[in-house]
Amino acid sequence: MIIYNILAFIALVVFISIWIALDTEAIRNIDSFGEQLFGGNSFLEFFHYLGETWFVVIVGVILVAYFIAKKRYRKMTFVLFTFIGGTIINQGLKFLIERPRPIIPDQLTSYSFPSGHSMLSMLYMMTTAFLITSGMSKTKKRIAFFVAGLGTFLVGLSRVAGSRHFMSDVLGGWSLGFAFFMLVVYWYMRTRKKA
């Protein structure tokens, strides 16, 4: 059980470190490297659709409806925690930090850090992989988490490819999303043992 707390703590430390260092030369170098490596990549940019609000909502509604139908109410609560809680945390931090987005024509008007696409894709993909593979073999679990990880990776990079976010926004979204996911996993495993 303690491993979930350790992983959440490490991810949270990474997020806070990026946040504190946003105005440093090190972060500017990371952002510049990300832009040079991924900027303008139309293949990567396509994957932003997997992190759009409408897509995340559809996945969430399907999962909630499925778990209600199966009377798996703890799993339903897990979905609500990660989807709704993650959104509230992300938007709250955006307004707290108020980091502007990269300067491009027709840029989005919302704040940049942490990336919502990166954080929420981490949450919904990992949540889906975790919940649907319950009781499956280790091989199937590994495959599911690999697909979830790859999807999260591509969605995050799509935001840099389209110049909607800096690379540090994406790294912040990934780390915070993973930290929150692991905390919800800890809650889920702890309550399962008590049930």
Domain ranges of the chain: 2-194
Nearest CA among 193, 177, 125 for reference residue 154: 125
- Position 194 scores a pLDDT of 59
Q: Of the listed 48, 99, 159, 165, which one is catalytic?
A: 165
- Cα separation, 190 vs 185, in Å, equals 8
Instruction: Tally Cβ neighbours within 10 Å of residue 194.
Output: 5
The string of pLDDT tens digits covering residues 132-148 is 998 889 999 999 999 99
The string of pLDDT tens digits covering residues 153-179 is 999 999 999 999 999 999 999 999 999
Percent of the chain with pLDDT over 70: 98
| pTM for this model (two decimals) | 0.92
Question: What average pLDDT does the segment 56-66 reach?
Answer: 97
| Helices assigned H by DSSP within the chain | 2-20, 25-38, 42-45, 53-69, 73-80, 86-97, 116-132, 138-161, 167-194
Q: Of the listed 117, 123, 162, 172, which one is catalytic?
A: 117
Query: Given a cut of 80, is residue 102 above it in pLDDT?
Result: yes
Confidence band, pLDDT 50/70/90 cuts, at residue 195 = low
Query: ∠ at Cα 179 (49, 191), nearest 5°?
Result: 110
Active site residue 48: no
Question: What average pLDDT does the segment 47-75 reach?
Answer: 96
- Position 10 scores a pLDDT of 96
Instruction: Tally Cβ neighbours within 10 Å of residue 35.
Output: 16
